[in-house]
Amino acid sequence: MEFKEIQELIKLIDNTGLTSFEMEKENFKISINKETNKIFSQEVVQQETPQYPKVIASPIVGTFYIAPAPGATPFVQPGSKVKKGQTVCIIEAMKLMNEIQADEDMEIIEVLVADGEMVEYGQPLFAGK
């Protein structure tokens, strides 16, 4: 095998997905191994969390309820003005209904979780101003 043929063979292997190649021919044997440095990139997509002037966060893990009973009028809704200490929702944890109060006077801009949804400790429940 001529040097030029070996160069062409190397180029051919380099342009394919092959990582190794062996060939035997009469009094000639060639073995080519291509090292691969596979780099896997993981794109992290961060969702932009809107910044609200005031937030009421969950003090416990449990199930969020916006009203005192199914079908009842919600404690608050967007546009509601609440006073410090006013009940804004219930979070059920271990079969106990825990009333969650506003920690300051505010106007509710948005309810951030759905009725009946599981919430985590520290998860924002309401956005206010």
Confidence at residue 29, expressed as pLDDT on a 0 to 100 scale: 83
Which structural domain range is residue 85 located in? 54-128
Nearest to 88 by CA among 107, 60, 116: 107
Q: State the pTM of this model.
A: 0.60
Same domain (yes/no): 63, 19: no
Confidence at residue 15, expressed as pLDDT on a 0 to 100 scale: 78
**Residue 43 predicted with pLDDT over 80:** no
Same domain (yes/no): 19, 58: no
Q: What is the pLDDT of residues 86-123, one digit of tens each?
A: 999 999 999 999 999 999 999 999 999 999 999 999 99
Same domain (yes/no): 13, 67: no
Quick check: is 42 in a domain?
no
Q: What is the CATH number of the domain that holds 83?
A: 2.40.50.100
Quick check: is 47 in a domain?
no
| Structural domain total, the chain | 2
Same domain (yes/no): 58, 28: no
Burial class (CB in 10 A: 0-12, 13-18, 19+), 111: buried
Nearest to 52 by CA among 113, 9, 122, 112: 112
